[in-house]
Amino acid sequence: MRRVDQLVGEIAGLASEMREERRLAEKTYVRQDLWLAQVKADQMMVANIAGDVRGLETRQDATEAKRRQNFQFSVGLAVSVFALLLTLIGFIVNRSAG
């Protein structure tokens, strides 16, 4: 009888240790479904940020193209104005010489 009481005590001690270990495990370890949900949320966030970066790059490329186009237009306008001035000066010089 004493042996049975001793075994019951040991089993109760083991059950208590198991409950304590489960309680610690719940605090320490993350459930698999929660971890997977967090990983999926992180992946969605990274994809969203990557899309934003691609959008910024596209807008920056468009801005750069617009700046280049404006520069080319300005150079073309300056060359046209210079050519017009040379033509006018030549016309005035020829008129006054003649």
What are the backbone dihedrals phi and psi of residue 82, each rounded to the nearest 5 degrees, phi first? -60, -45
Question: What type of residue is 72?
Answer: Q
Average pLDDT of every residue of the chain: 87
Query: Which one is predicted more confidently, 43 or 97?
Result: 43
Residue range of the domain that includes 9: 1-30
Domain count, the chain: 1
Instruction: Summarize pLDDT for 42-85 with one digit per residue, the tens.
Output: 999 988 888 888 888 888 888 999 999 999 999 999 999 999 99
The pLDDT score that the predictor gives to residue 98 is 63
**7 found inside a domain:** yes
Burial of residue 56 (number of CB atoms within 10 Å: 0-12, 13-18, 19+): exposed
What are the backbone dihedrals phi and psi of residue 30, each rounded to the nearest 5 degrees, phi first? -95, 140
**26 found inside a domain:** yes
pLDDT of 1 > 90? The answer is no
- Give me the percent of the chain exceeding a pLDDT of 70: 98
**57 found inside a domain:** no
The pLDDT score that the predictor gives to residue 84 is 94
Indicate whether this model's pTM tops 0.75: no
The pLDDT score that the predictor gives to residue 11 is 84
Reference 62, options 74, 50, 70; nearest CA is 70
